[in-house]
Structure 1
Amino acid sequence: MSQYRDAAREIVEAIGGKENVSAATHCVTRLRFALIDEGKVDKEKLENIDLVKGSFSTNGQFQVVIGQGTVNKVYNEMAAETGIGEASKEDVKKASEAHLNPLQKAIKMLADIFIPILPAIVTAGLLMGINNLLTGPGIFFAKPLIEVYPQWADLSGIINLIANTAFTFLPGLIGWSAVKRFGGSPLLGIVLGLMLVHPELLSAWDIGKTKPDTWNIFGLTVQKVGYQGQVLPILAASYLLAKIEVFLTKRIPDAIQMLIVPPVTLLITGFAAFIVIGPITFAISNVLTGGVIWLFTHFAALGGLIYGGLYGVLVITGMHHTFLAVDLQLAAKGGTFLWPMLALSNIAQGSASLAMMLVAKDEKQKGLALTSAISAYLGVTEPAMFGVNLRYRFPFIAAIISSAIAGLVISVQGVKAFSIGVGGIPGFLSIDSHYWPAFFMGMAIVLVVPFVLTYILAKTRREKTV
């Protein structure tokens, strides 16, 4: 344990001492700090600590990459040795928000809503990919596997049902997370989300195919339309629900809150959702997704070049979370152009990190670069990006150039993902098998080009690489 104790002390010293920490917590791989003054951080000293794999600042938080299975041990020692008390992630978020501008706060809000539901969405995407292997023609045989082996058809059906659940009831997931983020009751958020996909409503998938029934409310005609796969309607409705609930809770006596607050909150929000919020946000969603589809239909090369190249930069700023909503909307309309480029960007960062493993002279850096590359190939790029590539800059540049080229290549060939799933090399499972040849061409680019570019740049640099 002395290794973790010493590391904890050194980390606290490097970030400016415990008096510079207003709140601290940790996630699966990183220590998260809300610092009073980030200017006091000695990054060189920090990143020379053996257990530290990198550090970065985003959304008002200073984060130190330690690694899964180790970070909690370091945090426990830090709390015991320095007196920095255990804080919840919410405490750190609130403390860090004081340093954010309005745009950063908006980005952080979306991240706070979508990150908690990502495990369900990613798992659903992975399972849909497995089902795609069973049902897609031309993968193993000319016919789908379940036609060659009919006894597997029911297995495929169950997998498909399990996989589709998260996307079918997506508003319920978002409602839970969004209402919780806005300060309301998460349970009411779930009810609100499920209300928007109630079986009595015409499914969003069938709009345009069937004329919806209507309600007549005092002369006002309201269509009975559901919002399956939609993001903006439930986000706006969740915000309204949370604010109404908080407003009523402060003014209704405790003894009768249960009888008044939830019913009134749901009634007001429900009417507003079906009469105003739903139709307006649904139209906005169609404009946004239609714009992305138009761009990739008419200027596919430009769209792929820009998004493929800039995705790594978006990750640094945290803005990549804002595109998750767009991905979900596109997937609901038949496929997303964006998710395949995310997967390729992950691989590019891993290849650049792998090249650094060969050219690094320090054994610690070699080990860090190798493990970070493997992590990026499996869809987790933080160790590679912040621990290796951004530290030396040129590997990161090589990675984004390569992912831009790959983005261009797959975009001009119309590659789409039918769902959001696992990034990195396993990302092909989210791609319709019809697009596999084009996607694997892009994958070859991000496996080879960033590796070669990084290796050449490292060898031609005059100064010491590491």
Structure 2
Amino acid sequence: MDVNQVARQLVPLLGGKENIATAAHCATRLRLVLVDDSLVQKEAIEALDGVKGCFSNAGQIQIIFGSGIVNKVHAAFIQAAGISESSKSEAADIAARKLNPFQRLARLLSNIFVPIIPAIVASGLLMGLLGMVKTYGWVNADSALFVMLDMCSSAAFIILPILIGFTAAREFGGNPYLGATLGGILTHPALTNAWGVASGFHTMNFFGLEIAMIGYQGTVFPVLLAVWFMSLIEKRLRRIVPDALDIILTPFLTVIISGFVALLIIGPAGRMLGDGISLVLSTLIAHAGWLAGGIFGGLYSVIVITGVHHSFHAIEAGLLGNPSIGVNFLLPIWSMANVAQGGACLAVWFKTRDVKTRSIVLPSAFSAMLGITEAAIFGVNLRFIKPFIAGIIGGALGGAWVVAMHVNMTAVGLTALPGMAIVQASSIVNYLIGMLIAFGVAFTVSLLLKYKIEAR
């Protein structure tokens, strides 16, 4: 592959130099913000050497090259296009201006929760392993080793409002350390631990108002709303507080005002919102059962196209932090949808002899089995339409199975094969069966459906 030649060929297919605003790249994709997306010649771009797919998402044109190649193409492209190099975040900020309010909200939640995922994955993985060894009696639950490991597994959920406070404040334009402080106020030891409410809690009389002294450990929406309010207060104070007093008065007043409002108004309202969402979802799963799982599993791949799926991390974290739920019953459904798209993608390999298409199919299908479906969906399945439909069918049936079998996970962020690490021990077998159903059905339907795969 001649990266310089590919870079030069891309420029006119993107509408020319004057149509290219910024260019950045992530691990696998060239991310471009264009003046007019309608000038993009998508099919011609996908026919270029090394291109594994091209799609529009979050206000950007994203061209899949794969790791190890995309950085070379990017370096050649900015020279060919005559533009300056942009960071991924700069390109994302410019692209955000082109999004509608709903898409901006999804992007906002994604930016807040994606940095937190490693902590939740680590805690959830350890929590799942501890649950397994406790179930089978391999370790004494009262031993010092188990107790210390249990502390490690629950820490991320206990301080979740602090982690969210930091990233949310950074995203809302406030001081992230003040955001973390506000998260600390909502989880202060003076408040009854959210998981110990069943044993009773105290109330506090505040000028005639009875305030429940309950903490917000593991919650999501209270701290999100509180930090959003805090950021507004901080920005307004910085406009009116004299510069000489800014470093003293602004943080002081910000913490006092936002802390009181969070404890008295926003916290309880946010808890009601989070509990309401969790109640609706758990009720749907409990009463609609496999039907709800089928609908969610079928629709998830459609939602992935819009990029809104990243906002689900907030809901999943809320489920894990809810004392009455404590598990993630949504992620197994998403896993089935991802695996199904991988199966549908792999079937294309058996239906074509085109070398370029085959070279894209195998790595894309394997990536989907690891939970990353963009290459399979945008590079293969959507290109031929019917494989995507096959993936929806497989995802629906797999989703129905895992819900019917009560498969749950203990964290967020891992799906498909890696998701086995955070599946509850009692659900491993049914999770594997669900993946076999999703993959097998999608593969078979994609293989049997008739559609034309043109050689390029």
Could you state the TM-score of these two structures normalised by the residue count of structure 2?
A: 0.93
* Among candidates 279, 287, 308, match of residue 297 of structure 2: 308
Q: How does 1:85-234 map to 2 (within 5 A)?
A: 85-133=84-132, 135-137=133-135, 143-146=136-139, 159-207=149-197, 209-234=198-223
Counterpart residue identity of residue 146, structure 1: V
* Offset of residue 410 of structure 1: 1.8
Counterparts of 1:14 and 1:119 in 2: how far apart (Å)? Answer: 38
* Offset of residue 435 of structure 1: 2.2
* Offset of residue 159 of structure 1: 4.8
Q: Which residue in 2 is equivalent to 1:416?
A: 408
Counterpart residue identity of residue 225, structure 2: A
Q: How does 1:388-403 map to 2 (within 5 A)?
A: 388-403=380-395
* Offset of residue 342 of structure 1: 1.0
* Among candidates 351, 358, 362, match of residue 366 of structure 1: 358
Contact persistence 2:117–2:412 (CA under 8 A):
no
Contact persistence 1:126–1:421 (CA under 8 A):
no
Counterparts of 1:62 and 1:136 in 2: how far apart (Å)? Answer: 49
Q: Which residue in 2 is equivalent to 1:296?
A: 285
Counterparts of 2:294 and 2:445 in 1: how far apart (Å)? Answer: 18
Q: Does 1:268 align with 2:257?
A: yes
Q: Point out where structure 2 has 5 or more consecutive residues left out of the alignment.
A: none
Counterparts of 1:447 and 1:157 in 2: how far apart (Å)? Answer: 39
The farther-off stretch of 300-309 and 157-166 is 157-166
- Aligned CA distance change for structure 1 residues 380 and 6 (closer, same or farther; 3 Å): same
- Aligned CA distance change for structure 1 residues 210 and 463 (closer, same or farther; 3 Å): closer
Q: Which residue in 2 is equivalent to 1:17?
A: 16
Deviations 1:331-379 (A, max 9, x none): 2222222110111112111112222222232222212211111111111
Counterparts of 1:251 and 1:64 in 2: how far apart (Å)? Answer: 46
Q: Which residue in 2 is equivalent to 1:321?
A: 310
Q: Which residue in 2 is equivalent to 1:49?
A: 48
Contact persistence 1:240–1:269 (CA under 8 A):
yes
Counterpart residue identity of residue 194, structure 2: A
Counterpart residue identity of residue 144, structure 1: G
* Among candidates 318, 327, 330, match of residue 335 of structure 1: 327
* Offset of residue 247 of structure 1: 1.1
Counterparts of 2:166 and 2:160 in 1: how far apart (Å)? Answer: 10
- Aligned CA distance change for structure 1 residues 145 and 391 (closer, same or farther; 3 Å): farther
Q: Point out where structure 1 has 5 or more consecutive residues left out of the alignment.
A: 138-142
Q: Secondary structure at the match of 1:99?
A: coil
* Offset of residue 391 of structure 1: 1.3
Counterpart residue identity of residue 284, structure 1: L
* Offset of residue 462 of structure 1: 5.7
- Aligned CA distance change for structure 1 residues 200 and 291 (closer, same or farther; 3 Å): same
Counterparts of 1:49 and 1:123 in 2: how far apart (Å)? Answer: 40
Counterparts of 2:12 and 2:153 in 1: how far apart (Å)? Answer: 47
Counterparts of 2:327 and 2:119 in 1: how far apart (Å)? Answer: 19
Q: Which residue in 2 is equivalent to 1:39?
A: 38
Contact persistence 1:378–1:423 (CA under 8 A):
yes
Counterpart residue identity of residue 50, structure 2: L
Matched residues, percent identical?
A: 39
Could you state the TM-score of these two structures normalised by the residue count of structure 1?
A: 0.91
Aligned length: 453
Counterparts of 1:5 and 1:163 in 2: how far apart (Å)? Answer: 49
* Among candidates 339, 344, 356, match of residue 347 of structure 1: 339
